[in-house]
Amino acid sequence: MKEKENIRLTAGEMSALWTQYINDTLATCVNSYFLEKVEDEEVRPVVEWVLDTAKENISIMQELFRRNDFPIPIGFTEQDVNPQAPRLFSDTFFLMYLRHMSNIAMAASSAALGLVTRPDVVDFHKRILQKAVRLQDRTRDLMLKQGTYVRPPYISTPDKVGFVEKQHFLAGFFGNKRTLSSVEVSNLFLNVQSNAVGKVLITGFAQTAQDGEVREFFNKGKQLSQKYIDVFSSFLIKDNLPAPMSWDSAVSNTTRGIFSDKLMMYHVSAMIATGIGNFGMGIAASPRRDLGLKYASLIPEISLYAEDGAKIMIKHGWLEEPPLADDRDQLIKS
């Protein structure tokens, strides 16, 4: 086993570990603030568990980096959060946010396990997946208990197994459109809900950002989130299906700085990347032409917004560089 752990890290292993390290340092900052502000004694243990898990992950990765002579990323530190700042979000939103983060962590760890091969790195990402599933269970169970969990819409159970017989199944622009499939409903619901969480988060960030350009960026993101909520909700409403509730009231009126602009910009950029992935899944799972085209039309817009964010981060020296492949042409020249 030890011999296998002496094998060089692949690009996939470097990427997964580097990204996980940045994300866990961010989670440490965010949840240290949440822990300072949480009032609900049922929510507090969940926040404590997430914070402890992130710190444990960081320790494991630091040891992995040291054994492989890999420079430990900077990520985010105590300088990026002020736990004593006023409350910005409600305890209900803390739970919703953590559940959303568990969704992202499950997807990321599953993807990593499809790429990594070294036993120690495989074991680490299995741990991440197990912790993410556990967080999903804890947040779901507590939200169900407290009556704050929003279920996807119900549709009728099919009477029989059937096969598509007409190309009308693909129609969407002219004539009568078929109703949404269960897969399409699920993806629409996911995109409404993720943008609702993103809108609350980015609204709070816009209120507390220190740099004017950053505030303007977040304000634009708030408007885009609402646009996407309206677009995806409209498809559900047309089929007489409920759209997820709004979380706007979860943000307080404080404008005091809580997180560094660097941390908030990275957090929003990471969530944009997840959103683009969700749009892509929506395209792949939506045979109805009007729905697939709507997803496709939104990807260039959100991609340009992501590029604007990257430019701001580069301008301020906030964008930490991931491991890069060797530039052979440059090495030859030098």
Q: Please, what are the domains in the chain?
A: 8-146 (1.20.1260.10), 168-316 (1.20.1260.10)
| 281 alpha carbon, distance to own chain's centre | 14
Secondary structure (3-state) at 97:
helix
**Apex 305 CA angle, 302 and 306, nearest 5:** 90
* pLDDT attached to residue 289: 85
* pLDDT attached to residue 154: 86
* pLDDT attached to residue 331: 78
Q: How many residues does the chain have?
A: 334
CA distances, 61 to each of 35, 106, 225, 281, 322 (Å)? 24, 18, 34, 31, 15
pLDDT beneath 50, residues of the chain: 1
Taking only the tens place, the pLDDT of each residue in 196-227 is 999 999 999 999 999 999 999 999 999 999 99
* pLDDT attached to residue 248: 59
pTM for the model: 0.91
Contact call for residues 272 and 309 (beta carbons, < 8 A): yes
* pLDDT attached to residue 166: 66
CB atoms within 10 A of CB 297: 11
Q: Tokens for 180, please give them.
A: 């949404």
* pLDDT attached to residue 329: 79
* pLDDT attached to residue 74: 96
Contact call for residues 94 and 101 (beta carbons, < 8 A): no
What secondary structure does DSSP assign to 214-250, as a single string? HHHHHHHHHHHHHHHHHHHHHHHHHTT-PPPPP-GGG
* pLDDT attached to residue 249: 65
Secondary structure (3-state) at 251:
strand
CB atoms within 10 A of CB 82: 17
* pLDDT attached to residue 203: 96
* pLDDT attached to residue 171: 65
